[in-house]
Amino acid sequence: MKASPPSDVPERVNALRRLLRAVDGHLPEQRLAAARTVVDHAGERLRLSGEHCVVALAGATGSGKSSLFNALTRLQLSPVGVRRPTTGVAHACVWGPDNSGELLDWLGVPPSRRFRRESALDGDDERTLRGLILLDLPDFDSVEQSHRVEVDRLLSLVDLVVWVLDPQKYADRVVHTQYLAQFSEHRDVTVVVLNQADRLQPADVTRCVDDLKRLLVADGLDGVPVFATSAVERPGALPLRELLESTVAKRQAALLRIGGDVDGVVADLAPLFEPEAAEHTVDRETVETLTGALAAAGGVPVVADAARRAYTHRAVGAVGWPVSRWLRRLRPDPLRRLRLGDAKESDEKEPIAATSVPPAAPAERAAVGLALRALGERAGAGLPDPWPAVILAAARSRADDLPDALDTAIARADLGMDRRPLWWRLVGGLQWLVALAALVGLLWLAVRYVFFALGLPELPGPHVGRVPLATVLLVGGLVAGLLVSIVARPLIRFGARRAQARVQNRLRTAVKEVARDLVVAPVREVLHAYADARSALHTASGR
Ligand SMILES: Nc1nc2c(ncn2[C@@H]2O[C@H](COP(=O)(O)OP(=O)(O)OP(=O)(O)O)[C@@H](O)[C@H]2O)c(=O)[nH]1
Ligand SMILES: [Mg+2]
């Protein structure tokens, strides 16, 4: 097994952070504590600078930052001038791979001021500085006035800040109170050099360095490395270069150590994410079973049966014999009795009054409980602990909201019961017609009877054969009305069964929606978290 290179460490730490975000709230906190510690330690500095080791040359104008920068890069990259200040914007030189764009953007180094040392060209000479980003900053005074916050951020990011002082100004009170003492909290990453040491006699160099050390103690910077350098002659920039080399090496070592920490955490967490979760999604069959249980508990069969009876009720009211129609109207509509079935504006925001569908019976509630458990167990089957329990809990997480959600879904559903079929109207019209014929026959017969009773001469009237037309109308009308009712009956039964089936289907769809929202969605969320965390763990492992 090949160990992953230090350059991968930032990405691996990020992956670990992703993993923690994904499982947040799902796994017990103490199980994640080690991973959190590793991620917290790595911090923003690692995210940005990654495998790079950032060293900044800072100091007052004219101290020789650019000269040292050029001496260290062995190239004339940053202009050195007599006019002060010379360096207006930061310059950067990168040793090794050029993937520092984001970092240099953040540091505000313009693209035209970014340089690279190609180790291929330099052979092994520059290998020891591979990963170093050396920054030549503008003089600190000008930076500080406008960008104190930026400077603080920068100093919290860099691996080392080299304060460049010169023999003339090293004891300047302003230099100490304005710069050095201000940044004493960064003493762990601070080095001070007395540059331009070639301008002093060797004995004076030692004296000045000692003096400087004493002043630094007063600045709160006791213990920071202090030594003399020169950009042009003895003692040269070599001491500084060696310090940079050891910083780069330490940086690599730090990355390797973080990499090792990540390895440990990955090995610790791996058993939690053994199998892939893709095959453990919620399958259709389980959802159907749950939908069935919810439909029963929500009263779908009751409503569908009421719809069947309501159809019959309304159809008889529309096509029956006028007298039975009238009697029908005195009886309540079965659907309305449940406060259902009226056409609704499908305004989702409008609260819908609860229905009068009876609440679920204990057996139905138990069936829902079983279906929830079955769904949860199936979705979590084969996953390592504690995921099955987490998924089961997710399946049950909204169980208390189910009764209200089902009732609202049923109340909101369009049952399609408002339509009056054309045949109702035709047959209804026919019923009126034959009833009218019977009525005309009856009235005619009544008039004839009155004439007869008063002894008046018999009214002439058409006959059908030997039977008077009035009798034919009365009897024929009544018989025809009866016949129409008899013929309509199976049609009504058929229509009622269809209405029942339709309502059943529509309500099942509405109930399935509830199952998806309140049961499947929370389970899927956990499964996604598992899958996300698993893929993040793979990245974090660096393989
Ligand atoms: N003798 C000697 N002169 C130096 C040394 N370092 C820098 N100088 C001179 O000091 C002057 C300022 O040097 P720079 O490197 O431009 O100084 P800087 O700190 O970059 O200044 P700013 O960019 O203005 O902040 C130049 O004339 C350099 O030639 C050194 O070690 N010895
Ligand atoms: Mg400069």
Element at 487 (helix H, strand E): helix 469-515
Q: CA geometry: angle at 237 spanning 232 and 243, to 5°?
A: 170
Distance 137 CA to ligand 2 centre (A): 7
CB of 87 closer than 6 angstroms to any ligand 1 atom: yes
C-alpha 257/C-alpha 255 separation (Å) is 5
DSSP string, 324-380: HHHHHHTSPPHHHHTT--S-----TTS------PPPPPHHHHHHHHHHHHHHHHHHH
pLDDT tens digits for 295-322?
988 889 988 998 899 899 888 888 888 8
Compute, in angstroms, the gap from residue 121 CA to the centroid of ligand 1.
Answer: 28
From 65, 66, 67, give the residue whose CB has the most ligand 1 atoms within 8 Å, as the site to mutate. 67
Q: Are 96 and 130 in contact (CB under 8 A)?
A: yes
Measure the CA–CA gap between 406 and 412, rounded to whole angstroms: 10
Distance between Cα 241 and ligand 1 center (Å): 18
- Which has the closest alpha carbon to 510: 367, 407, 420, 422? 407
Distance of alpha carbon 442 from alpha carbon 448, whole angstroms: 10
What does pTM read for this prediction? 0.65
Residue indicated by tokens 């006791």: 222
- C-alpha to C-alpha distance for 13 and 262, rounded to whole angstroms: 7
Question: Which residue minimizes the CA distance to atom 6 of ligand 1?
Answer: 64
Structure tokens at 245: 């080399």
> CB 312: neighbour CB atoms within 10 A?
19
Pick the closest to residue 537 from 270, 192, 174, 250 (CA basis). 270
Say whether 468 sits in a helix, a strand or coil.
strand
Given this model, what pLDDT does residue 308 score? 92
Nearest CA to ligand 1 atom 12: 62
Number of other residues whose CB lies within 10 A of the CB of residue 487: 11
Are the C-beta atoms of residues 201 and 191 closer than 8 Å to each other? no
Task: Pick the ligand that lies closest to the CA of residue 65.
Answer: 1
Two tokens, residue 226: 């202090």
How many other CB atoms are there within 10 angstroms of residue 204's CB atom? 13
Q: Is 166 in the pocket of ligand 1 (CB under 6 A)?
A: no
Closest Cα to atom 3 of ligand 1:
196
Q: What is the atom index within ligand 1 of the atom nearest the CA of 80?
A: 16
CA distances from 85 to 67, 80, 81, 448 (A): 13, 10, 8, 131
Q: Amino acid letter at 480? A: A
Those residues with Cβ within 8 angstroms of residue 136's Cβ, 6 or more apart along the chain or in another chain: 57, 65, 66, 69, 78, 87, 90, 91, 92
Report the DSSP pairing between strands 160-165 and 190-194: parallel
Residue 278 dihedral angles phi and psi, to the nearest 5°: -55, -40
CA of 460 to the centre of ligand 1 (A): 141
Regions in the chain scoring below 50 on pLDDT:
1-2, 343, 345-346
Q: Say which residues have a Cβ less than 8 Å from residue 271's Cβ, sequence separation at least 6.
A: 384
pLDDT at position 1: 45
Q: Of the candidates 258, 259, 268, which has an alpha carbon nearest to the alpha carbon of residue 32?
A: 268
CA of 400 to the centre of ligand 1 (A): 76
SS3 content of the chain, % helix, strand, coil (to 5): 65, 5, 30
What is the phi/psi pair of residue 449, to 5°?
A: -65, -40
Rounded Cα–Cα distance for residues 288 and 285 (Å): 5
Ligand 1 contact, 231 CB (< 6 A): yes
**Whose CA is closest to 94, among 79, 107, 81?**
107
